[in-house]
Structure 1
Amino acid sequence: MKTNIIKVFGLGLIASMTITSCSDDFLEEKKNYDNVNTGIYDTEEGCLRRVYDVYSWCLPTVNSDPTWQYPSTGSNDTQAKSTEEYSGFGAFVDPQNPLSVMSGTSVPDYFFGTPNNIQNNAWGRIRNINDAIEGISGGALSQEKKDEYLGQLYFFRAWCYYNLVKYYGGVPIVTEVQDPVEGVVNPRRSAKACIDFILSDLDQSAKMLADKTMNGGWSSDEWGMVTTGTALALKGRVLLLWASPLFNRANDETRWKNAYTQMKAELDSINSCGYGLFTSTNNVNGSDFALQFNQSDKNPEAVFVTLYNTVQAGDGQKNSNWERYIRPKNTTGSGKNASAMLVDMFPMADGKRPASADTYTKLEASSMTYDREHPFMNRDPRFYRTFAFPGFRWAYNGNSSVQEADPNNPLYDDGKNYELWNYVWYTDLDDQGDPESGNDYGADNLLTNCSGVYVRKRSDDYDVNTNSMYTFTGTASNGGFAYSAQPYIELRYAEVLLNLAEVACGAGELTDAVSYLKQVRARAGYTGENNYGLQSNLESDQAACMSAILYERQIEFAYEGKRFDDLRRWMLYDGGATKVEGAPSTWTLTGWGGNTCTWLGFKQLNGQRRENMEFRVADKYGVGGTTADSDPLLKNGGTRCAAVDLRKELNPQLETLKTWYSDNLVRKDKKGDSYDQNKVKLYMNFLPRYYFLGLTQGAQNNNKALEQTIGWEDSQHGGSAGTFDPLADE
């Protein structure tokens, strides 16, 4: 392990930052080569190692909570718990604990990080990229080889800046490796300057990588490296951000048209890199939608991807925890509980919203009746690959050593015939109707570790993928799915199409917008026989078309860490109608009738609650005990029907399960979001100043020249109001 102490003066700060070794299994040897002399840039091996080092610092990763370095990836984190996906107030919607800079609940730091460690500091990461750009540019390699490496570095610099700008609007732009000389200061720049800078880096990246990647992408051995298509896809995301209401308060149509023109022209280049919607020859009940997340080689869907491995120890270890996160406790996982709000609003099998779901009122309601007691009936094919209910198969490739974790866990043929039976019982009849009661116990030894509805999204389901990407080690010490090589896809091809659909809609090109929407729906399993489940007026009603696109994004990307960004982009917590104290008139939303929620027909999230659901045993079975063998349904003569097998014809199985539920289970609504001390229900409250975040006190302390964002306290000036306007022209 190579370590060194260096001095960095990045944003008007002088700090000692420790460089520690880091490894990423993008290739077999991705170690830390940031502490180098200039001679390394005269060799291909040296340059390649510097590029790999940047990958190891900058690739997104499956994580438990977003940071300045890592975006949300679908877990029940601070951001996802501020959306419809999970209940339990995330920091951004907690009505009792408003975010602050100087007191109370501190605003999350997505700007700075740890001041004494380059790898744990946003600006140290950017400095590392700038250092590599300077070194390779001045090295002895041919221009062709330099472009190959520099193209990847420009992409990652843009990626770093995108993750800052989407929260703060305007940040310092640093393009050189700065010496630790007192007085060097980099002020915050406007959002427009930052967006232009990001787009320039991405254009440069796309151009430099074109010769290497626009003929089908990298070879199999190099798959996972960024390409021209990766750069242009991220460019599309940035152009969409700039055109969205968050940055485009007056709905300047030229931004939408500019984005549409560029993104449509560049789609062929993305396709030339080998990207496209993942499909197989045997799509059954949405199996292609599930299988796309479990491809180890040349997956066309994976435009920007982080690779993992099953190495169990050492510097080369990089395992994904996602499978272990979402699997039930009786498979030695930990499980994630989906909110009832999202379950209830998922489309029906005809592609329309349930009539009882009033979130998108400009979208036609389904003619199919939503059965809230049996939510799995007649749903969008993606529903069954997103959620898991009692009575569904959820196979995995395990082994009997799971008994070491708990001998009461069901084996189900070493997981290959695993069935989820997560219904619950209570030990007291008074608890059965109490939404607050936690005295419930789950079947099949789930007991107190039971989720009412499990998140199934992105699971490595053995019924879909028999070449499991994990090593199952079911022991008490390390859990079952401890070593997973499942890739994490940060930017999918479906997003490329839906980004393009959205800018086409904003530009008034509604026919094109609908055509891209249909492509995504076709992969989901819809056909032209019912217009891909879309209503007929989308090509003539811009608001309805945009609403349909946002609904599609919510469903397609559920539990992938994208929803919070979409809610912020469109200001859907309050429609953008609430004034930020101290903000200039340019912050007032004048486009979309002054309220994006009203224009879209979207029910704003502020003022709503997320609840949970579970399925308890019917009253006739009474109560049970606290142990695995005290299931009152089984003890009192009840039996289980055959679990639903998604490999087979679905509807007859669902009817059988519905009948079994009707005889044996009752849906119970459970408390999701919290109550106050008097047991009065609380409701989501996203403050308008959260659309642009404030800098933490630590960030300001490390660069006293940084202006605070309007709407937030300035810790450098005694808590006075912030003065930085991200929307101002420079």
Structure 2
Amino acid sequence: MQSKINYIYIFLLLGLCSCSKILDKTDLSGIDEMAWDNESTATLYLNRLYDLAMPTWPNLQGAGTLPTAIHDLADDYNGGDNKLWYGTLSVDNVNDFYGGNASTNAWAYIRKINILLTEIEKGTLDTDTKTKIKAQAYFLRGWIYFQLVKLYGGVPYINHPQDWITENLFVKRNKTSECIDSIARDFDMATKCPASWGSADKGRITRGAALGIKGRMLLYWASPQFNPNKDQARWERAYQANRNAYDTLLIDGAALYPSYANIWLDEGTGNKEVIMLRSFDGANKASTFDDAARPYSESNGGGGSYQPTLDLVETYPTKDGLPITDASSGYDAVYYWKNRDPRFDATIAYNGCTWPLSNKTNRRQWNYAGMTDDKSKPCVTGFYCRKNCNTATIKDNTKLGKTDWVELRLAEVMLNLAECANATGRTQEAYDMLIAIRKRAGINPGTDNMYGLKTGISQDELRTVILNERRIELAFEGKRYDDMRRNKLFDQLNGKKRRILTLSIKSPYTVAILEKTDGEGIMLRDKLDINGSDYTTYFSPAVGYLDTQGSINYPSNYYFYGIPTSNIQRNPSLEQTQGWNSGTFNPYE
């Protein structure tokens, strides 16, 4: 039966006469109508939809998931598509709208979801079972549309499996506001999901997840990307949605996990912070994050990605919660890792730190220039990302990761709520969320119990504080790119370059000297006390630039991408986005 169910998802989508026609073909897969009379077969169909639609940043599952790889970019780490960084993007480069594969694209997934929502009503399942299955499908449909709208603005919102013979297939783009309302309705329908599931159903959507993602979407809708005129009604709507999500999640048992460093790694029932995830088993569904993020020498042919920039490193406050630019923070510019926000050590692997990858007790990480182990793929920023890396995984198994991808956790809901509270004049509520997050992080409370937060600042200043807190708390969780777009933060980067920290070995010392072993096989470098004079004796740090080919240039029209030319040609009813090829579609409406 399992084999049969897997094969019934093959859809023979004839032709590519329009981007929306992918949804418009008669289902020729031969799904037995009796499948909707049996909870097991209906659930298997739903499970396949989960596999297709659930997020997996950064593209850990393959090219068929959204967002596509071109969006794996942020000012927090190395890499990223040069066409985006330096303003040379063409209208055809962002192909999330439809990438050309009839079976692995958003519209094919939406059609499959619409088939479930329509056909299940013809089956004999009891009402409660139907409702539970449909609620999850509604969420997945809303989720996919959300991924499209945040990139393009309004898109054709199709809520049924179209008949390719009788219906007009040249579907127009809905207004962005219409899409937002439709997505919100889908998420509302998804609140009929249970408050929790048993361990056998790990990863299924709960009502809290549906409310949390609805709150995230409405936060985006209220943000500058979509809301340049600062419509306060949108902020109020977003506030109410995020308040409802937060309150409901608390009722359902959600709580901040005590250890920030282990949020991703503790997948037991005691971790009440995780709300939405994609589950990996290390075999048929394996995460490759470890392989990408680790140093080359501790990966299985990967390594070197997601290296933190100096800009991110300097974002972390001190243990007292004060910015490193604050004269009273006690920040040491030489021994920059000392006395920092504990989230720094949980996220940043710096030169000489202890990082026991592959279960190597007391293993130390070295990022200096010419380091032999990683010479073929050296550290380029001066840092590695240690967040979400499982130190128990040996290097040969880094492409077989079992660590789940956490898409939504309570801390993000709290930050979403804080941002909306601040925007609607609920200042104390915003502070309450920030204080709770900083307290969990391990920041010192201070004599005023404000955990380094300043009071009496303006609404705009507090907004900056909240966005900075998001950058730290949610680092390497796939949120920075969206935050930069929705807040138009790329504007602040234009004309600048991402910074790095290069580490040279001071003369007369050399790589050979540092890596020479003693009688017990221990290298000289591993006996250095980097917290003392050894650091300045052996190493010479210098600030450099990651963007060597030029300064960042992210044009304003990139905040809403253009529809690829081939899609416009196949469907003349699709208006091109303003700012692209004389487009007329207004994404702000």
- What TM-score, normalized by structure 1, do the two folds share? 0.73
Residue 377 of structure 2 is aligned to residue 449 of structure 1: yes
Stretches of structure 1 that go unaligned for 5 or more consecutive residues are 20-32, 280-287, 312-316, 356-364, 399-414, 425-440, 462-467, 575-603, 625-629, 644-652, 676-681, 714-720
1:12-411 → structure 2 map (5 Å cutoff): 13=21, 36-64=31-59, 69-71=65-67, 78-86=70-78, 90-95=82-87, 98-101=88-91, 106-115=92-101, 117-118=102-103, 120-181=104-165, 183-206=168-191, 208-209=192-193, 213-214=194-195, 217-279=196-258, 288-298=259-269, 299-311=271-283, 317-333=284-300, 334-336=303-305, 337-355=307-325, 365=326, 367-397=328-358
Distance 2:320 2:451 in 1: 5
Q: Deviations over 1:268-296 (max 9, x none)?
A: 222233322112xxxxxxxx112110123
Give 2:66's aligned amino acid. Answer: Y
Taking a change above 3 Å as real, the CA distance of residues 81 and 47 of structure 1, as seen in their structure-2 partners, is: closer
Where 1:305 maps in the other structure, the secondary structure is: strand
Q: 1:215-248, CA deviations, whole angstroms, 9 ceiling, x for partnerless residues?
A: xx11122121100001000010011011111111
Alignment of 1:456-605 (within 5 A): 456-461=386-391, 468=392, 470=393, 472=394, 474=395, 479-530=396-447, 531-537=449-455, 541-574=458-491, 604-605=492-493
Q: Deviations over 1:361-384 (max 9, x none)?
A: xxxx35235444332122111111
Deviation at 1:666, TM superposition (A): 0.9
Are residues 134 and 421 of structure 1, via their aligned partners in 2, closer, same or farther at CA, if it must alter by over 3 Å?
A: same
1:282-318 CA-to-partner distances (Å, cap 9, x unmatched) read xxxxxx112110123333222110000122xxxxx11
Match of 1:726 in 2: 587
CA deviation string 1:640-675 (max 9, x = no partner): 3658xxxxxxxxx8xx52422112111133441023
Does the CA contact (< 8 Å) of 2:445 and 2:452 recur in 1? no
SS at match of 2:287: coil
Higher alpha-carbon deviation: 554-563 or 661-670:
661-670
Separation in 1, partners of 2:479, 2:577: 24
Cα distance between partner residues in 1 of 2:353 and 2:53: 38
Distance of aligned partners of 1:160 and 1:565 in 2 relative to their CA distance in 1, 3 Å threshold = same
- Alignment CA distance shift 1:124-1:481 (3 Å): same
Q: Which amino acid aligns with 1:297?
A: G
Using the alignment, how far apart are the partners of 1:34 and 1:226 within structure 2? Answer: 27
Aligned residue for 1:416?
361
**Contact 1:13/1:702, CA 8 A, preserved across alignment:** no
Q: Distance in 2 between matches of 1:306 and 1:18?
A: 30
Cα deviations across residues 155-192 of structure 1 (Å, max 9, x unaligned)? Answer: 00000010011111100010110122273222101111
Instruction: Provide Cα deviations, 1:60-102, integer angstroms capped at 9, x if missing partner.
Output: 1244599673237xxxx6445442433666432215xx2122x
Question: How far apart in 2 are the matches of 1:632 and 1:267?
Answer: 52
| Contact kept in structure 2, 1:69 and 1:110, CA below 8 Å | no
Q: Is the 8 A contact 1:220 1:297 kept in 2?
A: no
Q: Is the 8 A contact 1:130 1:177 kept in 2?
A: yes
CA separation in 2, counterparts of 1:192 and 1:514? 31
2: CA distance between counterparts of 1:10 and 1:174?
Answer: 14
CA contact (8 A) 2:255 2:272 kept: yes
Task: Report the Cα distance in structure 2 between the residues aligned to 1:306 and 1:563, rounded to whole angstroms.
Answer: 19
SS at match of 1:99: coil
- The structure that is helix-richer by fraction is 2
C-alpha distance 673-254 of structure 1, shift in aligned 2 (>3 A)? same
One-letter code aligned to 2:455: N
Letter in 2 for 1:44: E
Deviations 1:653-701 (Å, cap 9, x if unpaired)? 8xx52422112111133441023xxxxxx21111000111101123223
Deviations 1:475-508 (A, max 9, x none): xxxx342321100001121111000001101111
SS of the residue corresponding to residue 524 of structure 2 reads coil
| Contact 2:36–2:124 (Cα < 8 Å) also in 1 | yes
1:370-415 alpha-carbon deviations (Å, 9 max, x no partner): 44433212211111111112222211345xxxxxxxxxxxxxxxx2
Task: After TM superposition, give the deviation of residue 455 of structure 1 in Å.
Answer: 1.4
Specify the code of the residue in structure 2 equivalent to 1:245: P
Indicate the RMSD between aligned Cα atoms, in angstroms. 2.8
CA distance in 1, matches of 2:215, 2:478: 18
Unaligned runs of 5+ in 2: none
Q: 1:448 to 1:673 in 2, by over 3 A?
A: same
Q: CA deviation at 1:350?
A: 2.0
Question: Structure 1 residues 90, 383: closer, same or farther in 2, change over 3 A?
Answer: farther
Shift of 1:111: 1.1
* Alpha carbons 1:611, 1:672 under 8 Å: kept: yes
**2:12 alignment counterpart:** 6
Deviation at 1:533, TM superposition (A): 3.0
CA contact (8 A) 2:287 2:400 kept: yes
